[in-house]
Amino acid sequence: MKVYKFVIFDWDGTLMDSAAKIVKCMQLAAKECDLPVPTYEQVGQIIGISLRQAIQTLFAITDDALTDKMVATYKTVFLQQDQTPSPLFPGVHDLLTALKEDKRILAVATGKARRGLERAWDNTQTRAYFTYSRTADDAASKPSPDMIIQLLNEAKVSADEAVMIGDTTFDMQMAHDAGIDRIGVSYGVHGQAHLERFSPVALVHSVYELERYLLGSLRGQKEQVDTERF
Per-residue tens of pLDDT for the chain, all 230 residues: 799 999 999 999 999 999 999 999 999 999 999 999 999 999 999 999 999 999 999 999 999 999 999 999 999 999 999 999 999 999 999 999 999 999 999 999 999 999 999 999 999 999 999 999 999 999 999 999 999 999 999 999 999 999 999 999 999 999 999 999 999 999 998 888 999 999 999 999 999 999 999 998 444 344 433 333 33
Domains and CATH numbers, the chain: 6-17+87-229 (3.40.50.1000), 19-81 (1.10.150)
The per-residue pLDDT for 198 is 96
The per-residue pLDDT for 48 is 92
Spatial separation of the C-alpha atoms in residues 47 and 219, rounded to whole Å? 33
Residues 6+ positions from 48 with CB-CB distance below 8 Å: 10, 12, 13, 111, 142, 166, 167, 168, 170, 171, 189
- Quick check: 102 and 218 in contact, CB under 8 A? yes
The per-residue pLDDT for 225 is 33
The per-residue pLDDT for 54 is 96
* Model pTM score: 0.90
Q: List pLDDT tens digits, range 24-77.
A: 999 999 999 999 999 999 999 999 999 999 999 999 999 999 999 999 999 999
